[in-house]
A and B are shown apart, each in its own frame.
Chain A
Amino acid sequence: MNRRILRILSVLLTVFMLCTAMIGCVKTETDDGTIGTSSGTEPKEDPYAGPFPLETDVTLTYWFMMNPNLSAHYTNLGETEYAKELQRITGINVEYVHPADYDQFALIIAANEMPDIMEYRWERQYPGGVTKAIADGVVYPLNDFMEKGYTPNYSKYLEENPNFASMVKTLDGQIAGFPFIPDQSYVLIGPALRGDWLKELNLSVPETIDDWYVVLKAFKDKGVQAPYTYVSTVPFIIGAYDTNHSNFNNGYYIRDKKVVYGPAEDNYKKMLETWNKWYQEGLVDVDYATVSREMVESKMATGQAGSTSAMPSNFSMLVEAGKASDPNYELVAAKFPVLNKGDTPRYDNDAFGSPYNVRSMLGMITSNCKHPEIAARLLDFAYSEEGVLLNEWGIEGVSYEKKSDGSLMYTDNIYNNPDGWTFFQSKAKYSRGYADGAFMADPRRFAADNNDPAMVNAVKTWSISKSAQYTMPFLRESAEDSEKLAGITPELKTYQEQAYLTFVLEKDSLKDWDQYLKTLDDIGLQTTLDIYQKLLDVHFSK
């Protein structure tokens, strides 16, 4: 009997000791959000600080949404040559997780099932932005890893670019993520119409609102079901009325150093009058409120629609698809419309904002990550010279080659893919240079990307704008203000979106304009204006 008890006791003791030993190893998160390692287990020599490739059998999970160019031929980024090359260079195993849609972001966080690294537009999509995400303990601030030297390349970039560094830092000096660093911004969306129809109808590319009316009317008379179609995010005529829609920067912009909320301006009402008239006359797609991007593209390709807001890639994809049904198919870019001939167009857009803004793609290390140092090393790689080349150009000799004068050019693997893939699809095989992500852009890429004159012309045409003077700088608010804004902004946005559509879709809807202004005030418009004005004054005084 005694021996049995002894045996049981000894087993229990062993288990207990094992448990405490394991607890000793587990990384603990201290109250101030920094990472501390329990005493006694600190490795003498850090195995993760050395040069690549690292020797580790850790597999990190990496969450990001697949771009259509990537998902065209792959189900996972891990299958691409890019991922294999990245693994070869860094020695870090990565398992990529791709959500089916962006709603998953909130669900994953609500369920506390974050993968190790999550790449998304955190400043905008996480209510309260990065400041709140750190405060909520959802992500690690990077400062600790930076001090310990896990992010040499990113740290170096921030040192050399204090202006950019000041934007990524929260008010209390924390740096949260690895942002997309654009080289130079281009307006990547703008009006485009069927050039062959314009010729057929003997019309020129429209410049003013009146021109556009004539063109759309002519398309309608021609029997086109939807002369203009696009998803209901933003009316492309907005800039002609010298104001801003809630889709960009939530509607706020600067006029003479004062914050203005575009959707509450008289100019906005004038814009609505035109837009409503066009909708009622059938010049704008009858399905304006519910149409999806896929539907827009299919309508444009099949001739059900005559004009849209296009992206540069549409000039290859859409034209190719359109030529199948109509060999004369031609797409021309138009400048953003103005009221009077000769005016400079305006269309507020990220391209005119600061390089770091609410839409910036950010790679963040979540608090679920057990090896944040390795994750930091992996993400930091993208800011090294080698990393930029891999992310933007791919693999030397396979997807790009260096010319004798030092410039880079894609190979025929990309330009004329042997499997018949499009330009951007072939890029997706070797690089991530088809969209933004947690890496640094290469200024040399744009020229190589847009070797198609139609694309180059489109981007040039759309970039003619006076928007830069109106765009708000990226402002960080205090935690208190952030909470106030987090309460008001979504409600304001929901209401404004709905009111906007009602104003467009319903006949005589503008008689409710005053009621609309009153509701905006009730929701708290003035509070938000005061907060932004306060921040802006501080910004200008610097």
Chain B
Amino acid sequence: MFSTKKQNTMKPVPQQTLSYELKTDFKRNKYLYLLILPVIAYYLIFHYWPYYGLQIAFKSYSPGLGFLKSPWVGFKHFTNFFNSYFFVRTMRNTLLINIYQLIFGFTTPIIFALLLNEVRNLTYKKYVQTVSYIPNFIAMVVICGMIKDFTASDGLINQITALFGMRTIPYLSRPQYFRSIYIISDIWKDCGWSSIIYVAAISAIDPMLYQSAVIDGANRWKQMWHITLPGIRPTVTILLILKIGHLFSLGFEKIILLYSPAIYETADVVSSYVYRKGLNELNYSASAAVGLFNSVMNFALLILANTVSRKVSENSLW
């Protein structure tokens, strides 16, 4: 790239074979190749090398025997999981929490960004934005500690409800409250931060559009509905596809920080099950099998969502 012309003029091309092309390309752009090397290495080491370890999902892995010597057991761990009591429960909980998050957690940042866009006082707008980002920088452990404090039987929420004569409820030991607590705290933590991308997308909309709409007599509501929203639609679609691709996955950190056996019924998800199975029960193979199954489901969903989106709207990941 740096000296393309010079080399071309100096050496006439004898053959256009692939290997020759690769060679010359490599020679010409060796510094670019060098630049990208760490990235390739990163992917090979951290994203492709682990595939080698995936084989333990089909084996009865024992640390003493290692990857290669552990005996093969085929799909035993998968069928065990499908037949187990935990299959339906963990899948249902994972899906439900994700769907609620999609409905409430995905829409709030959009609404928040739209509202911010309507704020005319710039100082106030910046202030609100900054404040809304702060929770994102608090560590998950701290957040969960706060949630526990707020929902404790002598916590803030119970003290307020007690003023109205309501019974004390230990929210985190009642399964029916878990999902709400999870979603609400998630929105509180992520809403501001996730809205950044929409604010950016809104600011990229051509101001001329608004001006001409005003001339045509559109009020603020109509402007939002007909200009702002369509303007950010590609962003929304892409993010939605990505989100749907993760419908079957939910990080275990927050779950295991909040749950207890009393609320497994609604709080135990696939990843927390994998965590318990693998790291508490040392059942690595069964744990890997469940994890693999979960990833395959996610992958299938992502492809499905992308295909649907490509057909329905014109936006898609690929």
Contact = CB atoms under 8 A, between A and B. Distances in A.
B278 A110 contact: yes
A500 B265 CA distance: 12
A501 B286 CA distance: 27
B38 interface: no
A106 interface: yes
B158 to A, nearest CB: 9
**Chain A interface size, under 10 / 10 to 19 / 20 to 34 / 35 or more:** 35 or more
Given A137-B65, A498-B264, A498-B265, A288 B173 contact: yes
A176 B260 CA distance: 34
A494 B261 contact: yes
Interface residues of B, number: 33
Given A135-B64, A136-B64, A286-B168, A505 B85 contact: no
Nearest to B172: A290
Interface in B278-293: 278-284, 286
Contacts of A501: 173, 260-262
Contacts of A106: 279-282
A201 interface: no
A109 interface: yes
A522 B88 CA distance: 13
Contact of B152 (A110, A137, A287): A287
A523 interface: yes
A106 B65 CA distance: 18
Interface string A264-303: 0000000000000000000000111110000000000000
A487 B286 CA distance: 9
Contacts of B170: 286-287, 289-290
B80 A487 contact: yes
B276 interface: yes
B62 interface: yes
Given A290-B172, A491-B84, A110 B64 contact: no
A115 to B, nearest CB: 16
Contact of A290 (B62, B80, B173): B173
Interface string B245-288: 00000000000000011111100000000001111111110100
B88 to A, nearest CB: 11
Main secondary structure of the interface of B (DSSP, over half): helix
Given A486-B283, A502-B262, A287 B173 contact: yes
A494 B64 contact: no
Contacts of B263: 289
A494 B264 contact: yes
B173 A289 contact: yes
A137 B80 CA distance: 25
A110 B86 CA distance: 23
B153 interface: yes
B62 A137 contact: yes
Interface in B161-187: 168, 170, 172-175
B63 interface: yes
A103 B80 contact: no
B243 to A, nearest CB: 30
Interface string A120-141: 0000001100000001111000
B62 to A, nearest CB: 5
Interface in A470-498: 483, 486-487, 490-491, 494-495, 497-498
A107 B279 CA distance: 6
A497 B260 CA distance: 10
B279 A136 contact: no
A76 interface: no
A112 interface: yes
A469 interface: no
A137 B260 contact: no
A467 interface: no
A513 B175 CA distance: 18
Contact of B63 (A112, A483, A490): A112
Q: Which 4 A-B pairs have the closest CB atoms?
A: A137-B64, A289-B173, A289-B262, A501-B262
9 contacts: A127-B282, A127-B283, A136-B64, A138-B63, A483-B60, A490-B281, A494-B86, A501-B260, A501-B261
Interface of A: 33, 103, 106-107, 109-110, 112, 126-127, 135-138, 232, 286-290, 367, 483, 486-487, 490-491, 494-495, 497-498, 500-502, 505, 519, 522-523
Given A106-B280, A110-B278, 19 more contacts: A103-B279, A106-B279, A109-B63, A109-B282, A112-B63, A135-B64, A136-B63, A232-B262, A286-B153, A287-B170, A289-B173, A289-B262, A490-B283, A491-B84, A497-B261, A498-B262, A501-B261, A522-B85, A523-B84
